[in-house]
């Protein structure tokens, strides 16, 4: 099914229904019931995380440029502090691994669907002298909930990946999360949402990898862990992740983000002990959609590498420093977290 969706996106096919028509009547009551519960709390407006991270690493090398695109998950809706957003976590982690400052620009929009990626990519590429070195895209949940045809969703994503790759940016896609884990959603809607989410995630992987991007599956990260700890891993509206949930997702994406820039200590060599393999792209995409944090990277067509990179703890939550300030001894300010060049939570 994922291959059919991706092929329809590539060759202009029509929408491929993920749910049978007979299920629509059964779902209507479930959808209305879920709407009464999801969003019962208030999700705060996501804080802006744009700015420079790791200023203590300033040197002759130019700062790395990181772009973030996508929906409310990429924007960090559901948390109140800048350092808790995925953008801040990824920028801080990238700065620590590369030992270079990182300039973050986040153009993600809460509520966005894949058709908004064209606008977001245009914003990032508006200045040809400031093209990001690497971009992270997190998109897909709103496409499922708004019943956007999967072929249309994947077509928009592949176009975005192609534009960014053509401009010279590396691209990492965090694929559609597993919507079957949302606590107020009941059966059979829960099962159907899970099925639709995973099919879209697999199709996104095929499309992104064929355009030269890398993908990391978020479905299972927002699956067993969220299902077992809904009070800890969901935010106050029971829909968006909490700070712990975003940290879990960022820990999965960071190794692939660094590997795309050649900064991760592990190579692309396969490790059989971690069930890594080289598979046809469609099969790799299907397996990745079923397991948390799985990376898919293109090899010689039509093959792809299926990897499970070792995760490392993220640096302490950080805040951006848009104006690095020199210290009296000629050094650069460091934050209170102990991570050079970043200010800790609550720091001025």
Residues with catalytic annotation? 72, 237, 240
10 Å Cβ neighbour count for 200?
A: 30
**Residues with Cβ within 8 Å of residue 78, at least 6 apart in sequence:** 43, 44, 46, 72, 235, 236, 237, 239, 240, 241, 242, 245, 246
Task: Decide if 314 contacts 253 (C-beta within 8 A).
Answer: no
10 Å Cβ neighbour count for 167?
A: 14
Residues 265, 263: Cα–Cα separation, whole Å: 6
First-to-last CA distance in the chain? 51
**Residues with Cβ within 8 Å of residue 160, at least 6 apart in sequence:** 69, 114, 117, 118, 120, 121, 137
DSSP state of 129: G
Quote helix, strand, coil % in the chain, to nearest 5.
45, 15, 45
């Amino acid at each position: 099914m994922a291959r059919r969706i991706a092929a329809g996106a590539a060759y202009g096919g029509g929408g491929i229904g993920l749910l049978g028509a007979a299920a629509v009547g059964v779902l209507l009551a479930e959808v209305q019931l879920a709407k009464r519960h999801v969003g019962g709390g208030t999700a705060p407006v996501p804080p802006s995380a744009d700015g420079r991270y790791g200023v203590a690493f300033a040197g002759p090398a130019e700062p790395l440029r990181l772009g973030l695109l996508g929906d409310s998950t990429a924007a960090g809706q559901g948390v109140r502090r800048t350092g808790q957003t995925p953008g801040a976590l990824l920028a801080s982690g990238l700065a620590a691994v590369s030992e270079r400052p990182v300039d973050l620009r986040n153009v993600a929009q809460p509520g966005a669907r894949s058709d908004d990626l064209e606008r977001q990519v245009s914003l990032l590429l508006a200045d040809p002298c400031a093209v990001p070195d690497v971009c992270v895209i997190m998109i897909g949940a709103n496409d499922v909930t708004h019943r956007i045809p999967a072929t249309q969703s994947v077509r928009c994503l592949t176009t975005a990946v192609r534009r960014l790759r053509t401009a010279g940016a590396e691209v990492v896609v965090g694929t559609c999360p597993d919507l079957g884990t949302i606590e107020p959603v009941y059966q059979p809607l829960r099962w159907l949402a899970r099925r639709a989410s995973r099919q879209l995630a697999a199709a996104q992987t095929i499309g992104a990898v064929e355009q030269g991007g890398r993908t990391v599956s978020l479905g299972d990260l927002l699956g067993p862990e969220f299902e077992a700890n809904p009070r800890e891993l969901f935010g106050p509206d029971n829909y968006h992740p909490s700070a712990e949930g975003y940290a879990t997702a960022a820990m999965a994406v960071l190794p692939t983000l660094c590997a795309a820039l050649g900064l991760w200590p592990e190579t692309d060599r396969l490790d059989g002990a971690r069930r890594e393999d080289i598979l046809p792209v469609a099969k790799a995409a299907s397996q990745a959609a079923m397991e948390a944090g799985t990376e898919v990277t293109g090899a010689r067509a039509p093959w792809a590498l299926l990897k499970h990179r070792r995760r490392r703890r993220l640096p302490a939550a950080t805040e951006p420093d848009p104006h690095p300030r020199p210290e009296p001894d000629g050094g650069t300010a460091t934050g209170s977290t102990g991570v050079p060049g970043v200010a800790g939570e609550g720091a001025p």
